[in-house]
Amino acid sequence: MKSIWALAAVTLIALVALATAQDKTGDGVKSFYEMKTSYLDGKPADLGAFKGKVVLVVNVASKCGFTPQYEGLEKLQKDMAGKPFSVLGFPSNDFGGQEPGTPEEIATFCERTYHVTFPMFSKVVTKATPEQSPIYKFLGASGNLPQWNFSKYVVDKQGHIVAFFPSKIKPDAPELQAAIEKALQQ
């Protein structure tokens, strides 16, 4: 009889853990694709438009030592054309004040310097503060928040975070490419 109760207790704990894992943000969001935000130009953006795709979410900055990664991100976007994939850029001024520009300045810099064609969204706060973006609250529930600009999250077709890479991992790094490919196959 004790083993039945022990099994029931373990099952209950597992079910509670599963329910908690499905809503780590505490505000009902279970998928990246359930959220809404705005594009860099201020127009509303429903991240549900990317459901069914694998996305690489990156906190970007124009005046950072990692800024040249824009080139690799754009190359990745072009190389993956025709596949259900997109890079998504979220400017952030959290680290060293390295994204001080207005939305217009950021857009002009990205277009002229790196010919960015992937979607860019409004500037966000990535750090766990009262001003933190709901996007990064959701992403941070994975246990990883950016420690600097150009941190990367691989989000699968259902909107779940499947991998995180810090700033130093470049867009062409084999481990990042492998994580994207694995997510595409699922």
Task: Please give the Cα distance from 13 to 89 (Å, whole number).
Answer: 38
Q: Which one of the listed residues 54, 64, 116, 155 is annotated catalytic?
A: 64
Give yes or no for a contact between 32 and 47, defined as CB atoms under 8 angstroms apart. yes
Q: Is 64 a catalytic residue?
A: yes
In angstroms, the Cα distances linking 154 to 10, 55, 63, 71, 173 are: 31, 6, 24, 18, 13
DSSP per-residue letters across 37-60 = EEBTTS-EEEGGGGTTSEEEEEEE
Task: Please give the Cα distance from 73 to 128 (Å, whole number).
Answer: 25
Read off φ and ψ for residue 80, nearest 5 degrees: -95, 5
Task: Please give the Cα distance from 136 to 144 (Å, whole number).
Answer: 10
Active-site amino acid positions? 64
